[in-house]
Structures are given as structure tokens and as C-alpha cells.
Amino acid sequence: EPEVTQTPSHQVTQMGQEVILRCVPISNHLYFYWYRQILGQKVEFLVSFYNNEISEKSEIFDDQFSVERPDGSNFTLKIRSTKLEDSAMYFCASSVTGSHTDTQYFGPGTRLTVL
Amino acid sequence: GQQVMQIPQYQHVQEGEDFTTYCNSSTTLSNIQWYKQRPGGHPVFLIQLVKSGEVKKQKRLTFQFGEAKKNSSLHITATQTTDVGTYFCAGPMGSGNKLVFGAGTILRVKS
């Protein structure tokens, strides 16, 4: 069964450094999402992306964050200057359509630790 | 803002006992989705409820969607140790189809 994959599984970085988290969505999916989950807390929406544009973003997704689909398979989340509070699990998800009834499939996540 | 509340936060049951988690949205939802997250894992889609008053079953799991499409519940009959994890409800909102998650209910099962 096709799966969303994410790399790396764990990223440790120093505060102020840039990080890029990578995702490969399921191949026939057109809508992509990033969520994050701070340890012990709920999953929070960051951004949705379709047709090379951001569809919607949350208040968390400020100017330090950006997303890109650099080629036909990867979907990346960049954090320009990491802060301690960016430490979290970051999940990529994808869906075939952007319909509210369409299932979003989550990747295994990247654990980001900012020191 | 749009919120999804979920209770209880945590439940510890003896194996064989039942378990229920409740979800309530601040707005009417087009559908509600349930996910399970094992410790250290990622959210895995369980089911989606679309119709008002809908009830769906998956083996020992029973999902309900309220008549007003603002609340939902997940009931597990006769819990097993494999049921351990965090159960999240989530509602799709906004033009970008973002999922707004509840806080989750952590289920621990004592054998």
C-alpha cells in the first residue's frame, strides 16, 4: 500500500539554524499538508498546498516557515531560523483531492529538536 | 476560532473493560474523522462519519456522529492491550481542508 514517507526521522539543530524537512507524498495525491505536534500535545495544522501554491496556513506558519515542491515527488518544509519552541514532531500528509471528505494520509513524522 | 474539544484527556482501564472518548466541535462539521496514534507513532486514519446521526462499527469499535453534526464518540468494547494509544477526533475546516484535531484521549490498558 502506498505510504507518505518523510526524512529525516530525527533532526537535531542549533537555535537560529535553518532546517529543511522532506516529504514524499503518495504519488497520485494532489494536496499536501504539514502538521506539527509538540510533545504531549495535539496535532496542529500548519499549511496546506495545492498546485504549487499555499491554500491555507495557520497562525503558526509565520515568515520563518516556507513550503516548496521542488520536483515532481518531494514536498519540503523549511524553517529559516529555528527557535527552541519549534521543537516538535512534524507530520506531512497528503490527499487525492482537497475535499473535506477526502482522507489525509500521514507520514511517520520528523522529530525536530532545537538546542 | 474553530475548536474541537475532546474528553477525557486520559483513561486507564483494565483489559476487558469498555472505553469511550467524546468529541465536541464549536461549529457544525461536514464530517468527523477519527485517528489512532500509537506511542511514538503517527496518526493513522480509522474512520470518517459524514451523515447526521451516523453510526459505524469496526469490530469492537463503534463510532457515532451526533444529529447536529457537532459531536461524536468512539466506544471500544472489551479493550485489549493492542488498543493502547491516543485517539484523536478531527474535523476538516476552511478552504484548505485543514484538519482541526481534538486534544486526544490517551488510552492505557492494564492486563
The answer, for A109 touching chain B at a CB cutoff of 8 Å, is: yes
Structure confidence at residue B85 (pLDDT): 97
Half-sphere exposure of A76 (CA within 13 A, CB side): 15
Structure confidence at residue A8 (pLDDT): 97
A61 is a domain residue: yes
A101 is a domain residue: no
* CB-neighbour burial class of residue A14 (10 A; exposed 0-12, middle 13-18, buried 19+): exposed
Instruction: Report CA A48 to chain centroid distance, whole Å.
Output: 9
Tens digit of each residue's pLDDT (9 = 90 or more) over A80-95: 999 999 999 999 999 9
Compare all CA atoms of chain B with the CA of A92 and give the residue at the minimum distance. Answer: B42
A67 within 8 A of A58, measured Cβ to Cβ: no
Residues facing residue A89 across a β-bridge: A37, A111
The whole domain housing B21 covers: 4-110
* Distance (Å) from the alpha carbon of A65 to chain B's nearest alpha carbon: 17
Chain A residues lying within 8 Å of B5, measured CB to CB? none
Check CB contact under 8 Å for B100 and A103.
no
DSSP state at residue A4? -
* Distance (Å) from the alpha carbon of A83 to chain B's nearest alpha carbon: 23
Half-sphere exposure of B104 (CA within 13 A, CB side): 23
Compare all CA atoms of chain B with the CA of A34 and give the residue at the minimum distance. Answer: B98
Compare all CA atoms of chain B with the CA of A38 and give the residue at the minimum distance. Answer: B103
Chain A residues lying within 8 Å of B48, measured CB to CB? 101, 103
A111 is a domain residue: no
Check CB contact under 8 Å for B100 and A106.
no
- CA dihedral A35→A40→A41→A47, nearest 10 degrees, is -10
What number is the average pLDDT over the span A22-40? 95
Domain count across chain B = 1
DSSP state at residue B73? E
The whole domain housing A85 covers: 5-9+17-96
Tens digit of each residue's pLDDT (9 = 90 or more) over B67-111: 999 999 999 999 999 999 999 999 998 777 899 999 999 999 999
Between A1 and A112, residue with greater pLDDT: A112
A112 is a domain residue: no
Chain B residues lying within 8 Å of A47, measured CB to CB? 96
Tens digit of each residue's pLDDT (9 = 90 or more) over B6-49: 999 999 999 999 999 999 999 999 999 999 999 989 999 999 99
What percentage of chain A exceeds 90 in pLDDT?
86
A24 is a domain residue: yes
CATH of the domain at B15: 2.60.40.10
Between B100 and A99, residue with greater pLDDT: B100
Structure confidence at residue B12 (pLDDT): 97
CATH of the domain at A58: 2.60.40.10
State the Cα–Cα distance between residues A39 and A82, nearest whole angstrom. Answer: 17
- Whether B2 shows a pLDDT value over 80: the answer reads no
- Whether B59 shows a pLDDT value over 90: the answer reads yes
Structure confidence at residue A31 (pLDDT): 94
pLDDT band at B1 (very low <50, low <70, confident <90, very high): confident
Radius of gyration of the CA atoms of chain B, in A: 13
Structure confidence at residue A102 (pLDDT): 87
